[in-house]
Amino acid sequence: MGDNDSSSSSSCFPKYLKHLSGDGKAIGVLTSGGDAQGMNAAVRAVVRMGIYTGAKVYLIYEGYQGMVDGGSNIVEAKWDCVSSILQVGGTIIGSARCKAFRSREGRLKAACNLARLGITNLCVIGGDGSLTGANLFRKEWTGLLEELVQNGEIDKDTLQKHSYLNVVGMVGSIDNDFCGTDMTIGTDSALHRIIEVVDAIMTTAQSHQRTFVLEVMGRHCGYLALASALACGADWVFLPESPPEEGWEEDMCLKLSENRAQKKRLNIIIVSEGAIDTQNKPITSDKIKELVVKHLGFDTRVTILGHVQRGGTPSAFDRILASRMGVEAVIALLEATPETPACVVSLNGNQAVRLPLMECVQMTQDVQKAMDEGRFKEAVKLRGRSFEGNLNTYKRLAIKLPDDKIVKSNCNIAIINVGAPAAGMNAAVRSAVRVGIADGHKMFAIYDGFDGFANGQIKEISWGDVGGWTGQGGSILGTKRTLPGKYLKKIAEQMHFHSINALLIIGGFEAYLGLLELAAAREKHEEFCVPMVMVPATVSNNVPGSDFSIGADTALNTITDTCDRIKQSASGTKRRVFIIETMGGYCGYLANMGGLAAGADAAYIFEEPFDIRDLQSNVVHLTEKMKSSIQRGLVLRNENCSVNYTTDFIYQLYSEEGKGVFDCRKNVLGHMQQGGAPSPFDRNFGTKISAKAMAWISAKLKGSMGTGKKFVSDDSICVLGICKRDLLFQPLAELKDKTDFEHRIPKEQWWLKLRPIMKILAKYEASYDMSDSGKLEPLQHHHQEELSAI
């Protein structure tokens, strides 16, 4: 359902994609190497975007093996044949390791099979090995065809018509081991599997005071181990890129026993399957268990996660990533010329980019070479700023220096949660508290928002107090929507009484408004003349100054999971349309992105006004769809998208207009979108952005040490957020003009550019803005800013 299959032929689609037509072109899509969740979403996007532009799209089954064998392994795709695959893990077109393709003879057979069908555009979804193979094939293509002409297997006309091959890659790999891309397809889903297991293990470990050693995948890359250790606050982590220093055995045992002495009832150690020591000798999970039992006598268990990490349904992030990359891959193929080198479409920050395929492959291989030669610091650097940033953040949060080694700053910093609860808030508080303590500050927690601030609900909070907070949903400090305006005097008194030198606010639009009120009161109350920074945390994702906010990813996964279940219920009844209402205030982020991730037929949002004619055309679209093989529909509606076209109104309209063709059901998701354990994305995003905010506060305070300086300039009161590719501190004063205060949303929202993707994949006419579509970029060996999608 929601995978949209009306019977009208695709050729009647208007070609809004200027200068881009697939007429007369043929695209082949294959998945190769190890499978990864989200590959199906990528295949679906390539097929539908290709058909939309007028190209023929062929599914190549069983990877390169299918290309070599030909015949029934290469099949023209129809719109309907990729329905209902968005939520399926693995790859429906199969993947296989192929020896034959490694020989020229095998590639000759493959070239013959493709040339006969006129396929000169290849989209390969796989790891670095698969992509290297595709590039070699591209280089040899003309020579292979000339040989086929000599052998009499194809004629000269075919050679002239199909004289060059274009190749675009998408990286599908749960290990996130490909340089040049922040996140590969499948990584986020694999993290979901790991964190589900860790959360479950933590409850049993707590009951028995056990130590658990968890082995995760990653033969040559420690990303999964590192990101999951960061997300669950593990006591120790072993990675191939960063082996522990000599004498690590004593250090680890000391750390574990210290934690137990502080009344921590469990220990979690995460081991990457490729973990090694500085001599390149393997460190196995069994070896670690023996060590803990021998030295400490702790009850210790080993859990090897294995292929669980590859399985299951793809996360919302992976579905959206794969859909965006699939669309971008088709555009890249259709724009390519004989001179265009093979490229890989990838994610850089929040931007889709195209990078030279072989440069990325080379850099990926350089990491392995550096590790083999014992140049581990270089290996970490080559992995990219995001990996290095994760590692540094993990070390700062996991290991506390003894008090006498921490240089005291004599500064007091307060942390407050404001607005509605959002999953990931607690991870952000934990990170801020620990980074603050490591920087020598005294950290204070303010309970129950600005209400609690005014009433003096302020307590010093220690390193141990925030242990185990990363996986907790909601807000442990308590949060309220109350604004500080009516309590300014009382809040100023509390700041004076506790000598607060800086304030970190974690929250949504109310936090933003509250910060504006505090900024305006600086003239009257000098206590507010301190550095203040806001970290956005709201499921609505409506804070100006940031493309993402903590909590939105968890809410999006809740919506996507619910839609999957509803789709399943509808598949039995047939001819049923579901109308689902999502949260978000006036911000359509959840409805729009939920629609993209769940494969909806339509998503009604406030930012794109609609009228009765639009509703009517959606009904016609669904009526057509019911004539096809997929007899179900899914429509999302943002709670405030229209005053009069309410969920009930749309439900009644659809019920009336669809009489005799389909029946309707409605579902209001409500507060379940604010609850639940935070997703790995929200845990790590909260952890890293909060650590960054504390570093900014420390730098500001350090610069004014002993001067008694009052902070009154605009740049001392900021919002920290992701903007395209960068993590930026934006002065509040500059964000005012970019805010629609009446509707509590930013005036410009990046995700609206993704709206046409949802419509195109749902078989609607849509104009896709290609101004952001990448030209091939040089590979940046080091970003300016530590940032990644996770």
Q: How many CA atoms lie within 13 A of 256 on its CB side?
A: 28
Q: Which two tokens stand for residue 426?
A: 């607690």
- In single-letter form, the type of residue at position 427 comes to A
Token readout for 264 is 């921590």
Neighbouring CB atoms inside 10 A of 341's CB total 15
CA–CA distance, 428 with 421 (Å, rounded to integer): 13
Alpha-carbon distance of 166 to 159, in angstroms, equals: 15
Token pair of 300 as six digits? 């210790």
Distance (Å) of CA 694 to CA 249, 347, 405, 744:
32, 27, 20, 27
Q: What is the DSSP letter of 673?
A: G
Backbone angles phi, psi at 460, to 5 degrees: -70, 145
Torsion of CA 107, 109, 113, 116, to 10 degrees: 110
Element at 207 (helix H, strand E): helix 187-208
Tokens of 738: 């970019």
Encoded tokens for 654: 């659809």
What gap in Å lies between CA 466 and CA 429, rounded to an integer? Answer: 8
CB atoms closer than 10 angstroms to residue 508: 30
Residue with tokens 């809040």: 491
Distance CA 442, CA 452 (A): 19
- Copy the structure tokens of residue 589: 């982020």
Helices (H), 599-736: 612-625, 647-657, 680-703, 732-735
The token pair at 652 is 């009644």
Spatial distance between the Cα atoms of 679 and 322, rounded to a whole number of angstroms: 18
Task: Check if the beta carbon of residue 750 is closer than 8 Å to that of residue 573.
Answer: no
What is the SS3 assignment for 781? Answer: coil
Catalytic site residue 175? yes
Handedness of CA 538, 541, 544, 548 (dihedral sign): positive
Which residue, 3, 4, 63, is CA-closest to 29? 63
Environment class of 184 (CB within 10 Å of its CB; exposed 0-12, middle 13-18, buried 19+) = buried
Centre a 10 Å sphere on the Cβ of residue 290 and count the other Cβ atoms it contains. 12
Concatenated DSSP letters of 77-144: --GGGGTT-TT--S-TT-----SGGGSHHHHHHHHHHHHHHT--EEEEEE-HHHHHHHHHHHHHHHHH
Contacts for 135-139 with beta carbons within 8 Å, 24 or more apart? Answer: 135/167, 135/342, 135/357, 135/358, 135/361, 136/107, 137/101, 137/107, 137/110, 137/111, 137/165, 137/167, 138/165, 138/166, 138/167, 138/342
d(CA 463, CA 201): 23
Catalytic residue among 3, 5, 128, 175: 175
The residues, ordered by sequence, that sit 6+ positions from 705 with a Cβ below 8 Å of its Cβ are 409
Q: Which of 758, 382, 406 is nearest to 600 (CA)?
A: 758
- CA-nearest of 724, 718, 716, 720 to 690 is 720
Give the three-class secondary structure for 547.
Answer: coil
Q: Quick one: how far is CA 390 from the chain centroid?
A: 15
Catalytic residue numbers read 175
